[in-house]
Every structure is written in structure tokens, then in C-alpha cells.
């Protein structure tokens, strides 16, 4: 590969390396910054030096692969920054490598080709046993990372555009052969940062860290049309030490959904999602703002959600699992949620979602224990809440504290079954299953 370096790109790279604030924080606000060690990249490459042309016409797959191969083979442990200048760069899917930063300049757009015929396939995830929406293999994500360490995707608010439309249409008309590709997937990887980028029009789930640890996402904007199917924003899946903050998401499905595989496959793989923080997020979703599940078979534990603002959404907070899932959902702490124009404020349900196949064991029930939801304020909320536990595995130790939801219209305002817990300072008055416990001396005391 012949490399010619334009002086202008050297100047830009030098500029970036000197003035980029690596530890910018706003006042004394808590941030995710401590979770992934900040690496300074001494080596830099520009995608232009590998023949890429950002004219919105040229296909740049070879340039991305050549640049990333160079980084892979350079073997440098401080890693390399790959600079994508302003322009629109068409490419097929590509793989990242360890110790790299993919840096999108202001006005840089990496755009997926809309080739649904030759898109590569990869094996199903073991905790799913098949593709999430179709049996068998699944299309590789547009940008993919497998078994990586120390990867950053950042820049000056550049865009990664999945051009999902033809994929959404295949879903709509039932012609999908395999599960649609996500926009960005990291699998079995650690020390990952995604920040200061716009992720848009994913064919399927947008950002999917699966079997990962130490993942930080902040200052991202995730966009997809309200009617685009399954375009979840961020899906931490069987992953730990994930921190998501200061982002805006508006898509066609759940904004953030914490998952851990499903049914017999997820139970056998046994890989929980745990130690996850989600804070200072804003957005709107026709489904849920913050979701846990419905794929919860590896277990979901110690999830902290703080300061969320939701507009025009289906459900504010949705904790969902299913029979046959097994796994336990424990230690979920949600506080500081403002919601406006939402159909259902809070929903916790034991019978949501589909199954991979008919081999799930209907007697393998999920355990839901220890959920705190406090300091919630909602206006124009049509239905306050629904909590449906399972008869043979009632949900236990649920605490609702300081929850005010106004504008409820369609009764029943609250509806509960097979749940124990307590409710204090909750308006409108919640279902007897929760208020009765409070009267009998149960309380939220050890939750708050």
C-alpha cells in the first residue's frame, strides 16, 4: 500500500493530538470517565491516505480494511488514531481492531452501502442460539469488533449511517432470510468508548455490546424514524461495567435495553449483565425509554438508572421477562425520571416477548426481586402502571417511592398481580398489592 500524506492532514492530526481534551468534565458532575483508562494515541493515520474518497459515490471498503489492517499489524500498544475527514464515505461492513480510535471529523459521514444481498453472515450468539429474529446465522453488524481491547469511536459529532431502509422494508414485507445487521456490535471485548458521534438509521439494534466489560458511551446522538422496526438505541447484553450517560436517543424501539440472552441458550451460556449505570439520558420511543429485558436468561443485576427525561413515548420504564427465561433480575435502582406524554408510566411484566424455539422449559421461571423506582414525575401519562408477576414466581421486594404521574385517563390507573413490595408517596394511589404491604408494616426503608 502506497501512502501519500497530504500536509493538511498532518496539520489536522497534529492539531487534534494537542488540543483534544481527554478528561473534559462538566463541573463536579459524576461521569463514566474512570471506567476505561484514557489512552493517548501517538500514531495517527488518515483514511484519505488509504485512497478513501468522501464524495458520497466511491466505495471505500478497501480503504477501511487496509487502514485497519495496518493498525492491526503495527502492534503498537499505545494504539493508532484513524482520522476520517469531512465528507461522505460509502463502505461495506468492516471490522475494527484492538488499540485503535476511529475518529470522525465534523461533517464526516460513514455510510453503509444498501446491499442486502452480499452482506456477510456470522454465527449466532451462543446466548441466543440463533439469530434474534430469524433462525440460523445473522448478518454481521455494519461496524464490528470481536475479541478486542482498547477501542474508541469518537470525533466531532460525525455520523455513522446504517441506511436501514431496505432492511426495514424486508422486515415489513416478511422477506428477511436472516437476522438484520446492527449498526455497531462489540462482542467479547473490553475497554470500549463510544462518544461524540451520531449513530443513525441502524438496520436493527444500533449499539450492541455483547459479552463485553468496561464499556463507556457518552455524548452520543442516536436517531432512527419512529416507525423503523427494532432500532433499539443501546443494548448492553451479557456485559458488565457498562456506563452510559449524557446522550440523546430517538428511535423506533427501546432507547436503552439491558439484556442477557434468552431461554435455554441464555441459561446455558449463563452470562449476566451487571454493574451498569445509565444516567442523564433524554429521548423518545414508541416503546420503552429504559428497558430491562425481555431477554434476561443470564441474569440482570445491579443496574443504576438516574436522571432520565422522556417525551412522547410508549412506556417510561419497562422491566420485562418471560416464562422459560430463568435468570434473575435483582438490584435495579431507578431514580429521577421525568416523563411527558407517555402512554404507560411504569410496566413490570413476566409474560413479555417471544421464544427462540419450542424447546424452552415453561417451568423455568425468572426471579424478579429488589426493584426500586423513586423520584418519578410524569405529566400527560395515560396509565400510571402495571405490574404483572408470575403466579408461580411472584415478583418480590418492589419499592415505589415518591412517584407522581398526572394526566392518567383510562382506568385501571394501576394494575397489579403476583407482586409484593411497598409504595410510599405514590400518586395516584397504587394497587392494593403494594399499598396493603405498606399498611402491614412493609416499607421502602431498605431501598432508599
Ligand X SMILES: *[C@@H]1O[C@H](CO)[C@@H](O)[C@H](O)[C@H]1NC(C)=O
Q: How many alpha carbons lie under 13 Å from residue 377 in its C-beta half-sphere?
A: 7
Helices (H) and strands (E) in the chain, counts: 5, 26
Which residues are CB-neighbours of 15 under 8 A, at least 6 positions away? none
Q: Which is nearer to ligand X, 199 or 367 (CB)?
A: 199
DSSP state letter for 93: -
Task: Write down the least CB distance from residue 345 to ligand X, Å.
Answer: 12
Residue from 135, 140, 178, 142 nearest 160 by CA: 142
Q: How far is the CB of 247 from ligand X (least distance, A)?
A: 10
x/- string (CB under 6 A) for ligand X, residues 197-236?
Answer: -x----------------------x---------------
Residue with cell 405529566: 379
Among 133, 306, 340, 418, which residue interacts with ligand X (rule: CB under 6 A)? 306
Q: Closest Cα to residue 288, out of 323, 326, 249?
A: 249
Residue window 78-117: x/- pattern of binding to ligand X, with contact defined by CB under 6 A:
-----------------x----------------------
- Least separation in angstroms between residue 334's CB and ligand X is 12
Closest residue by beta carbon to ligand X = 147
Indicate the residue among 47 and 140 with the shorter CB distance to ligand X: 140
Question: Residue 23 Cβ, how far from ligand X at the closest point, in Å?
Answer: 4
Active site residues: 253
Kindly tell me which residue out of 58, 402, 417, 420 binds ligand X, with binding defined by CB under 6 A: 402
Would you state the cell numbers that stand for residue 331, as one nine-digit string? 438490584
Nearer of residues 186 and 262 to ligand X, judged by Cβ: 186
Check binding of 36 to ligand X (CB under 6 A): no
> Which residue lies nearer to ligand X by CB, 95 or 364?
95
Closest CB 103 distance from ligand X, rounded Å: 15
Rounded-to-integer distance, Cα 146 and Cα 238, Å:
15
Phi, psi of 97 (to 5 degrees): -135, 170
Is residue 432 a contact point for ligand X (CB under 6 A)?
no
Q: Rule CB under 6 A: say whether 188 interacts with ligand X.
A: yes
Task: Report the 10 Å Cβ neighbour count for 181.
Answer: 27
Q: Strand pairing of 108-112 and 158-161?
A: parallel
Among 62, 114, 116, 157, binds ligand X (CB under 6 A): 157
Cβ atoms of residues 428 and 408 within 8 Å: yes
* Cα four-point dihedral sign 429, 432, 437, 441: positive
For residue 412, whether the previous peptide bond is cis, meaning omega lies within 30 degrees of 0, is yes
What whole-number distance in Å separates Cα of residue 53 and Cα of residue 6?
Answer: 14
Closest Cα to residue 109, out of 53, 63, 184, 150?
A: 53
Residues numbered 351-390 forming contacts with ligand X, rule: CB under 6 A: 375-377
Residue from the set 17, 43, 195, 307 that interacts with ligand X by CB under 6 A: 307
Binding of ligand X at residue 279 (CB under 6 A)?
Answer: yes
User: Given candidates 275, 295, 424, 433, which one binds ligand X under the rule CB under 6 A?
Assistant: 275
* Closest CB 331 distance from ligand X, rounded Å: 7
Q: Does 28 bind ligand X (CB under 6 A)?
A: no
Q: How many CB atoms lie within 10 A of CB 178?
A: 18
Site residues (CB under 6 A) for ligand X? 23, 29-30, 75, 95, 122, 140, 144, 146-147, 149, 157, 188, 198, 221, 275-277, 279-280, 302, 304, 306-307, 336, 375-377, 402
Amino acid at each position: 500500500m502506497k501512502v501519500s500524506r497530504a500536509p493538511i492532514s498532518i496539520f489536522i492530526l497534529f492539531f487534534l493530538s494537542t488540543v483534544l481534551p481527554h478528561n473534559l468534565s462538566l463541573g463536579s458532575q459524576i461521569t463514566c470517565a474512570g471506567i476505561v483508562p484514557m489512552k493517548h494515541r501517538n500514531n495517527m493515520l488518515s483514511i484519505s491516505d488509504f485512497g478513501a474518497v468522501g464524495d458520497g459515490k466511491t466505495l471505500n471498503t478497501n480503504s477501511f480494511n487496509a487502514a485497519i489492517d495496518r493498525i492491526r499489524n503495527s502492534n503498537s500498544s499505545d494504539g493508532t488514531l484513524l482520522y476520517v475527514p469531512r465528507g461522505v464515505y460509502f463502505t461495506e461492513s468492516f471490522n475494527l481492531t484492538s488499540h485503535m480510535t476511529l475518529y470522525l471529523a465534523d461533517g464526516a459521514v460513514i455510510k453503509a452501502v444498501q446491499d442486502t444481498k452480499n452482506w456477510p453472515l456470522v454465527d449466532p450468539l451462543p446466548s441466543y442460539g440463533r439469530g434474534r429474529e430469524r433462525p440460523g446465522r445473522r448478518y454481521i453488524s455494519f461496524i464490528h469488533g470481536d475479541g478486542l481491547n482498547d477501542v474508541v469511536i469518537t470525533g466531532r459529532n460525525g455520523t455513522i449511517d446504517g441506511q436501514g431502509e431496505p432492511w426495514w422494508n424486508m422486515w415489513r414485507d416478511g422477506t428477511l432470510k436472516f437476522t438484520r445487521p446492527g449498526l455497531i456490535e462489540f462482542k467479547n471485548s473490553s475497554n470500549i468508548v463510544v462518544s461524540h458521534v451520531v449513530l443513525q438509521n441502524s438496520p436493527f439494534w444500533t449499539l450492541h455490546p455483547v459479552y463485553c466489560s468496561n464499556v463507556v458511551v457518552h455524548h452520543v446522538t442516536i436517531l432512527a424514524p419512529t416507525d423503523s422496526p427494532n432500532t433499539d438505541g443501546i443494548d448492553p447484553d451479557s456485559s458488565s461495567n457498562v456506563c452510559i450517560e449524557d446522550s440523546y436517543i430517538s428511535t423506533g424501539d427501546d432507547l436503552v435495553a439491558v439484556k442477557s440472552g434468552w431461554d435455554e441458550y441464555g441459561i446455558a451460556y449463563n452470562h449476566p449483565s451487571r454493574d451498569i449505570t445509565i444516567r442523564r439520558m433524554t429521548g423518545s420511543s414508541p416503546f420503552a425509554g429504559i428497558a430491562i429485558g425481555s431477554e434476561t436468561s443470564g441474569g440482570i443485576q445491579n443496574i443504576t438508572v438516574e436522571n432520565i427525561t422522556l417525551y412522547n413515548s410508549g412506556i417510561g420504564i419497562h422491566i420485562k421477562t418471560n416464562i422459560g427465561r430463568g435468570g434473575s433480575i435483582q438490584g435495579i435502582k431507578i431514580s429521577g425520571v421525568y416523563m411527558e406524554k407517555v402512554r404507560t408510566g411504569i410496566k413490570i411484566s413476566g409474560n413479555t416477548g417471544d421464544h427462540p424455539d419450542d424447546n424452552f422449559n415453561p417451568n423455568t421461571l425468572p426471579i424478579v426481586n429488589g426493584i426500586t423506582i423513586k423520584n418519578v414525575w410524569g405529566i400527560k401519562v395515560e396509565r400510571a402502571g402495571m405490574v404483572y408477576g408470575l403466579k408461580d414466581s411472584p415478583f418480590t421486594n418492589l419499592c415505589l417511592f415518591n412517584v407522581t404521574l398526572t394526566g392518567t385517563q383510562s382506568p385501571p390507573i394501576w394494575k397489579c398481580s403476583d407482586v409484593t413490595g411497598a409504595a410510599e408517596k405514590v400518586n395516584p394511589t397504587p394497587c392494593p398489592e403494594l399499598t396493603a404491604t405498606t399498611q402491614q408494616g412493609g416499607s421502602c426503608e431498605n431501598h432508599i
